[in-house]
């Protein structure tokens, strides 16, 4: 633990959520352009959060405020772990804790839509977590270490060439974490669907604003880990992250939502099998 | 700086809750037309949400009757303040041609306070968007006054 | 002094148990159990201050003691045979006869093994088990005092059967301590059989048809484990002429030799640890009174299995047998986690989760490196405390509402707030970083880098466990259930629950240092590798806790919003006003995804696959 790590950690704490907010802005502009609309300003997500911050509303449960803050702390902590070059697997566990808190808060609420969303949120977690974890195991195996620095440092040749089969799994996880079609199952991204806003239904006002910031932090973590696939330099990493983001946006705009059964029975096993094959392949080498 | 950012945000991110309170669907079609690429209300940060707990602006089309008055009131109550209500179309403003029907109470201002009235049968998308912008100006005025 | 500690740990509970048999009075029994709890806790802590140590107390090392242990290897199977004949249970009879045959062969057909020099070796692993038994086990015994009184009131018994119950319960703790400390294989196997007997008696305690059935099932399965154990011991006696456990687990002893005896012992351990396909006896344990299931699941019985595996682990490092055992453990982690997810019966969820976590520990043992063994011991200790807590909580809630179905436990936070919150905290301690269970799971995942398939299985199992426990907690804390008048509680039942909760959190936080203590000297100066990440995460978690509590304090005074029900108003909690102004009740339920995680189908598939793995374990060592 030296001063350098501390700087990196603080940078992660501050910049990662901002980056996530920017990603959300890019997402909305690009989506609008894909639909031949103008779309909102780039900083619209920040305005949204700013507005939600000053809304006055009664909570749906006494416990929600607590879980929202825990989710936020967990999401930010996972950013910090990654920024400070910590263990990527632990970073991922911390990030998964954040998702658990979001679901728990929804369980505590009083709207059936929120609870339905919470169940679906858990099934989403079940679907993407294993494949993402196997992806991290592959990266660690290929790079020879679990901490972010050694994964980033071990790149004479981009990891992508050794790990092509984990790409579908990572993309699946990105779609789920960005809450994009076809996997916006727990918190329907687009308006007026049968689950209303799913797991987010009961959150409102400042709690919802904090949850949005937590979501930004999550998005940064997931895209960041994906960018390890081509980590020969900071620009290359940024480009890799953007490639994943744009792929997700295009898939979002050309697909309809799947049911959680399809996700759990088809997509999750398929991506998991591919990623596992890649892992075994690394061992046979 | 943070305070002024919050103030700006309040008028830059109006999320709409659209409630069809017994409309003939004419005004609903025009309201939804605002989302299409032709009008693209998302330019103003407007999103159509399905949940009153996330909404800032309640857009109501159609007349209020005995059955749906309680739901309209409930939706309004579930919205966090500060909030705006926009009555769209002749029916929403006054009950329109249905105002004398036995089950109809009249315009939605019989149940909840209305900030902006949009006339027309049906109301034009431009008029609806204008109403939102007018409503936000009003909201800005309220926020300035409260400072 | 050390001999006195060991004597207290092993003999005192047995003696106190016998005394219980003579005491009919409630107050005297309570005093005795509380006293035993204090004595055991003090002796265990006393022993911990002296560890690591070796000793040879007379009652474990004298010739008489060894004769008694030899005698026990005939007496226990003979009793099982008697039970089998009385109940006309073919499997019990068969395995008892096999055990008798093996014991006779060992006694008369083979030369006696070299005398064991030190009767007691107490290293980190033994000490961990002793502490678990003496602290968690005794807390459960204290909890049993009010529980069994209610339980018997409920059953309307003419004469109380509590004396017998507490006799077995306390003696069980003594046997467990003996098992943890014994360094002679024969003494170990005598204690092993004693735990089988205790579990059989405790499971059948209620004397209903169901209790009898599950008792007999536990008996035949565990005596099958006994057969494997005896076979393993005989082979060791034949190959090496040894009975000294410490000498046996030296990898140098086994170079170039078949690991068949070790594989047999590992199978015996898998039976005790209720690994797939042997999980049935542990599921039967949930029909027994809660203290019994809590004891069997957390601090005794199943821990015998993982203890044995971890003891053998140094031999397994880098061997094929070790790799297959890792696979088998990881497979149980995956399979049992999936089975747990499809359950709505709260005690079955706990049971499957126990099997799953023990699978993880056995996987650690199969890996066999010092890092993996340390992670396994940490998991064992933290799991005992956490699972003990969860069982006590579920038992308490079950007594309050008369059902153990998760759907009936919905919103329990309004009815038994203390227990429900403790259960919520316990289930969160199963999955949340940076607490012990998750840290152990994570360390295991990273230690398993030699076995890609087991890593994948662990990854999937871990996700299944997260979903299962979040749903469990969410259901307990669910918001709509209408508050009924809170159930009355006894300080003897909330006391252990709260103490255990404190222990769970404390242990959860102490895990990195616990882990560092268990690593061989030299590696233990600083927190190794990623473990150093945990203390900053604790600080973060503490800050989050404070922040959360402040917000909770602020929000708990707030008037709650009306629920969003598509715009329909709600007249009372848990209902909405629908057509014609009628009040409709809102009902909700969890999605158990039984088409994926259904018990009937999954048990069959998982059973077959797990059997294949165990056959590979024995067969691989045979070849």
Q: How far apart are alpha carbons C566 and C563 in whole angstroms?
A: 9
The CA–CA distances, whole Å, from C619 to A83, C240, C332, C614 equal 48, 21, 19, 8
CB atoms within 10 A of CB C25: 10
Average pLDDT over residues C510-538: 73
Mean pLDDT of C490-519: 81
More confident residue, C526 or C331: C331
**Partner-chain residue, chosen from A87, A125, A141, that has the shortest CB–CB distance to C530:** A87
**Nearest of B92, B146, B142 to residue B116 by alpha carbon:** B92
Rank A209-213, C256-260, C592-596 by mean pLDDT and report only the highest.
A209-213
Chain C partners within 8 Å of B70 (Cβ): 569, 577
Token pair of A245 as six digits: 């983001």
Given an 8 Å threshold on Cβ–Cβ distance, is C564 in contact with B71?
A: no
C593: nearest CA in chain A? A261
Average of per-residue pLDDT values in chain A: 91
| CB of A51 closer than 8 Å to CB of C497 | no
Q: How many CB pairs under 8 A join B and C?
A: 20
- Does residue C84 contact residue C93 with C-beta atoms inside 8 Å? yes
- Tell whether B141 lies on the interface with A, counting CB pairs under 8 A: no
Q: How confident is the model at residue B135 (pLDDT cuts 50, 70, 90)?
A: very high
Average pLDDT over residues C165-180: 91
CA-to-CA distance for C314 and C305, rounded, in angstroms?
16
Once rounded to an integer, what is the mean pLDDT over residues B88-107? 92
Give the separation between CA C409 and CA C415, rounded to whole angstroms: 10
According to the model, what pLDDT value does residue C481 have?
Answer: 52
Q: Which of C564, C569, C577 sits opposite B52 (nearest CB)?
A: C564
Round to whole Å and give the CA distance between A55 and A205. 5
d(Cα C409, Cα C481) in Å, to the nearest integer?
A: 10
Domain span holding position B125? 12-146
Q: Taking CB atoms and an 8 Å cutoff, what residues of chain C touch A75?
A: none
What is the secondary structure of B75-112 as a DSSP string?
HHHHSPBS-EEEEEHHHHHH-GGGTTSTTEEESGGGTS
Asked, for residue B1, whether it belongs to a domain, the answer is: no
Partners of B55 on chain C (C-beta within 8 Å) are none
Complex ipTM: 0.95
Chain C CB contacts of B78 under 8 Å are 561-562, 564
Q: Find chains touching chain B: ≥3 CB pairs under 8 Å.
A: A, C
- Inter-residue contact A205 to A56 (CB < 8 Å): yes
Q: Please judge whether A205 and B80 are an interchain contact, meaning their C-beta atoms are less than 8 angstroms apart.
A: yes
Residues of B in contact with A54 (CB under 8 A): 6, 9-10
Domain total in chain B: 1
Strands B57-61 and B84-88, by their bridges, are parallel
Phi, psi (rounded to 5 degrees) for A92: -70, -40
A54 CA: distance to closest CA in chain C (Å) = 16
Report which DSSP code applies to C611: H
Judge whether residue C488 has pLDDT over 70.
no
Calculate how close chain B gets to C474, using CA atoms only, in Å.
Answer: 22
Distance CA A82, CA C373 (A): 28
Q: Residue A93: which of C442, C544, C586 has the nearest Cβ?
A: C442
Res A93 pLDDT > 60: yes
- Chain A residues touching B8 at Cβ < 8 A: 47, 50
Instruction: Report yes or no: A94 and A108 within 8 Å, Cβ to Cβ.
Output: no
C442/A89 touch (CB, cutoff 8 Å), yes or no: yes
**3-state SS, one letter per residue, for C373-439:** HHHHHHHHHHHHHHHHHHHHHHHHHHHHHCCCECCCCCCHHHCCHHHHHHHHHHHHHHHCCCCHHHH
pLDDT of residue C525: 46
* Res B55: pLDDT: 93
Q: Does the distance separating the beta carbons of A55 and B13 come in below 8 Å? A: no
Asked whether residue B7 is domain-assigned, the answer is no
- Please say if the pLDDT value at position C179 is more than 80: yes
Query: How far apart are the CA of C533 and the nearest CA of chain A, in angstroms?
Result: 7
pLDDT of residue C361: 94
C619 in contact with chain B, both atoms CB, cutoff 8 A: no
pLDDT at C523 over 70: no
Cross-chain residue pair B10–A57, CB shorter than 8 Å: no
Inter-chain touch C433–A110, beta carbons under 8 Å: no
Task: Say whether pTM exceeds 0.80.
Answer: yes
Higher pLDDT, A156 or A100: A100
Terminus-to-terminus CA distance in chain B, angstroms? 15
For the stretch C555-572, pLDDT in tens is 888 888 888 888 888 877
Supply the pLDDT for residue A250. 94
Return the residue matching tokens 């075994």: A280
Structure tokens at C444: 């295991």
Beta carbons of A202 and C564 less than 8 Å apart: yes
- Answer whether C568 touches B (CB < 8 Å): yes
Instruction: Determine the Cα–Cα distance for residues C69 and C421; give it in Å rounded to an integer.
Output: 45
pLDDT of residue B74: 93
Judge whether B93 lies within some domain: yes
- The pLDDT score that the predictor gives to residue A66 is 93
b vs e for C416-440, b when ≥16 Cβ sit within 10 Å of the residue's Cβ? Answer: bebbbbbbbbbbbbbbbbbbbbbbb
- In whole angstroms, what is the distance from residue C596 CA to residue A262 CA? 12
CATH number for the domain that contains residue B96: 3.40.50.12280
- Mutation choice for A interface testing from C341, C371, C445, C459 by most A CBs within 10 A: C459
* Mean predicted confidence (pLDDT) in B13-24: 92
Nearest-angstrom CA–CA distance, C501 and C455: 31
Instruction: Say yes or no: B102 contacts chain A, CB-CB below 8 A.
Output: no
- Nearest Cα of chain A lies from the Cα of C442 at a distance, in angstroms, of 7
Q: What is the rounded CA–CA span in Å between residue A231 and residue A228? A: 5
Higher pLDDT, B56 or C417: B56
Residues in chain C: 623
pLDDT at position C489 is 63
CB contact under 8 A, B80 and A57: yes
Measured CA to CA, the distance from residue A202 to residue B48 in angstroms comes to 17
Interchain CB distance below 8 Å, C567 and B51 = no
What share of chain C in percent tops pLDDT 90?
Answer: 33
CA atoms within 13 A on the CB side of C329: 32
Lowest model confidence (mean pLDDT) among B13-17, C68-72, C225-229, C515-519: C515-519
Residue of B nearest to A36 (CA): B37
Cα dist. A218→A13, A72, B27 in Å?
A: 12, 9, 40
Residue of B nearest to C561 (CA): B78
| Continuous H helices in chain B | 2-12, 26-33, 69-78, 89-94, 125-146
Domain boundaries, chain C: 263-478+488-521
Mean pLDDT of chain C: 87
Q: What percent of chain C has pLDDT over 70?
A: 96
In C, which residues are within 8 Å of B77 by CB distance? 562
Considering just the CA atoms, what is the radius of gyration of chain A in Å? 18
Q: What is the DSSP string of C63-91?
A: HHHHHHHHHHHHHHHHHHHHHHHHHT-HH
């Amino acid at each position: 633990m030296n001063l350098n790590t501390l700087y990196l950690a603080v940078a992660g704490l501050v910049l990662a959520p901002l980056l996530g907010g920017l990603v959300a802005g890019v997402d909305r502009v690009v989506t609008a352009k894909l639909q031949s609309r103008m779309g909102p300003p780039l900083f619209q997500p920040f305005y949204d959060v700013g507005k939600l911050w000053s809304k006055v509303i009664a909570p749906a449960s006494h416990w929600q405020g607590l879980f929202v803050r825990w989710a936020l702390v967990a999401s930010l902590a996972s950013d910090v772990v990654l920024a400070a070059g910590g263990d990527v697997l632990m970073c991922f566990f911390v990030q998964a804790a954040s998702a658990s808190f979001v679901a728990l808060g929804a369980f505590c609420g009083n709207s059936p839509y929120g609870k339905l969303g919470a169940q679906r949120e858990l099934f989403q977690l079940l679907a993407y977590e294993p494949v993402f974890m196997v992806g991290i195991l592959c990266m660690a195996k290929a790079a020879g270490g679990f901490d972010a620095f050694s994964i980033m440092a071990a790149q004479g040749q981009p990891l992508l060439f050794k790990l092509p089969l984990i790409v579908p799994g990572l993309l699946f996880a990105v779609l789920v974490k960005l809450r994009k079609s076809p996997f916006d199952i727990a918190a329907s991204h687009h308006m007026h669907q049968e689950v209303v806003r799913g797991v987010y239904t009961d959150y409102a006002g400042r709690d919802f604003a904090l949850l949005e910031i937590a979501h930004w932090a999550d998005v940064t973590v997931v895209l960041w880990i994906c960018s390890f696939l081509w980590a020969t330099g900071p620009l290359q990493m940024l480009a890799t992250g953007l490639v994943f983001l744009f792929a997700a946006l295009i898939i979002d705009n050309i697909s309809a939502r799947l049911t959680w059964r399809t996700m759990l029975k088809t997509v999750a096993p398929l991506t998991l099998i591919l990623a596992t094959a890649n892992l075994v392949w690394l061992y046979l080498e | 700086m943070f305070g002024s950012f919050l103030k700006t945000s309040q008028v830059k991110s109006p999320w709409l809750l659209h409630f069809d309170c017994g409309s003939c669907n004419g005004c609903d079609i025009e309201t939804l037309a605002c989302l299409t690429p032709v009008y693209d209300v998302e330019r103003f940060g407007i999103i159509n949400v399905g949940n009153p707990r996330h909404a800032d602006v309640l857009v109501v089309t159609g007349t209020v009757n005995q059955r749906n008055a309680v739901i309209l009131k409930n939706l309004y109550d579930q919205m966090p303040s500060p909030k705006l209500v926009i009555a769209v179309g002749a029916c929403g403003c006054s009950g329109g041609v249905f105002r004398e029907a036995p089950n109809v109470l009249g315009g939605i201002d019989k149940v909840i306070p209305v900030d902006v009235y949009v006339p027309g049968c049906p109301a034009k998308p431009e008029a609806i968007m204008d109403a939102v912008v007018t409503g936000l100006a009003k909201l800005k005025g309220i926020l300035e006054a409260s400072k | 002094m050390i001999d006195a500690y060991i004597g207290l740990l092993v003999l005192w509970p047995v003696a106190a148990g016998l005394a219980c048999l003579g005491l009919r009075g409630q107050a005297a029994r309570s005093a005795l159990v509380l006293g035993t709890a204090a004595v055991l806790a003090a002796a265990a802590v006393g022993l911990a201050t002296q560890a690591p140590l070796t000793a040879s107390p007379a009652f474990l090392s004298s010739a008489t003691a060894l004769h008694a242990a030899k005698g026990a290897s005939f007496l226990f199977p003979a009793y099982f045979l008697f039970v089998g004949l009385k109940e006309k249970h073919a499997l019990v009879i068969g395995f008892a006869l096999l055990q008798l045959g093996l014991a006779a062969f060992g006694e008369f057909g083979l030369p006696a093994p070299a005398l064991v020099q030190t009767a007691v070796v107490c290293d980190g692993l033994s000490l961990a088990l002793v502490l678990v038994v003496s602290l968690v086990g005794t807390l459960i015994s204290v909890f049993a005092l009010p529980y069994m009184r209610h339980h018997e009131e409920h059953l309307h018994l003419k004469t109380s059967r509590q004396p017998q119950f507490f006799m077995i319960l306390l003696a069980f703790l003594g046997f467990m301590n003996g098992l943890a400390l014994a360094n002679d294989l024969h003494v170990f196997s005598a204690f092993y059989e004693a735990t089988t007997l205790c579990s059989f008696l405790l499971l059948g305690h209620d004397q209903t048809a169901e209790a009898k059935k599950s008792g007999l099932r536990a008996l035949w399965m565990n005596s099958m484990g006994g057969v494997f154990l005896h076979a393993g011991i005989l082979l060791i006696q034949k190959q090496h002429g040894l009975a000294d456990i410490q000498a046996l687990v030296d990898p140098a002893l086994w170079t170039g030799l078949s690991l068949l005896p070790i594989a047999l012992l590992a199978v015996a351990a898998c039976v005790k640890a209720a690994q797939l396909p042997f999980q049935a006896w542990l599921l039967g344990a949930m029909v027994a009174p809660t203290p019994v299931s809590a004891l069997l699941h957390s601090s005794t019985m199943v821990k015998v299995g993982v203890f044995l595996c971890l003891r053998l682990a140094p031999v397994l490092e880098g061997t094929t047998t070790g790799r297959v055992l890792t696979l088998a453990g990881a497979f149980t982690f995956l399979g049992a986690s999936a089975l747990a997810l499809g359950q709505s019966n709260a005690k079955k969820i706990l049971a499957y989760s126990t099997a799953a976590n023990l699978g993880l520990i056995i996987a650690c043992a199969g890996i066999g490196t010092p890092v993996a063994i340390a992670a396994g011991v940490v998991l064992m200790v933290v799991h005992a405390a956490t699972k003990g807590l969860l069982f006590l909580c579920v038992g308490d809630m079950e007594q309050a509402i008369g059902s153990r179905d998760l759907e009936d436990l919905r919103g329990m936070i309004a009815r038994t707030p203390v227990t429900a919150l403790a259960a919520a905290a316990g289930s969160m301690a199963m999955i949340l970083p940076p607490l012990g269970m998750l840290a152990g799971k994570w360390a295991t995942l990273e230690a398993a880098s030699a076995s890609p398939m087991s890593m994948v299985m662990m990854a999937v199992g871990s996700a299944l466990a997260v979903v299962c426990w979040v749903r469990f907690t969410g259901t307990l804390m669910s918001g709509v259930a209408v508050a009924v008048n809170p159930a009355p509680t006894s300080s003897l039942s909330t006391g252990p629950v709260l103490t255990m909760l404190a222990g769970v959190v404390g242990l959860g936080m102490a895990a990195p240092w616990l882990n560092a203590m268990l690593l061989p000297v030299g590696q233990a100066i600083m927190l190794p590798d990623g473990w150093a990440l945990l203390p900053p995460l604790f600080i973060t978690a503490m800050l989050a806790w404070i922040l959360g509590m402040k917000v909770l304090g602020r929000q708990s005074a707030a008037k709650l919003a009306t629920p969003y029900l598509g715009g329909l108003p709600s007249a009372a909690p848990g209902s909405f006003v629908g057509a014609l102004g009628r009040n409709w009740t809102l009902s909700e339920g969890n999605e158990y995804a039984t088409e994926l995680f259904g018990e009937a189908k999954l048990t069959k598939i998982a059973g077959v696959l797990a059997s294949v793995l165990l056959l590979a374990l024995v067969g691989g060592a045979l070849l």
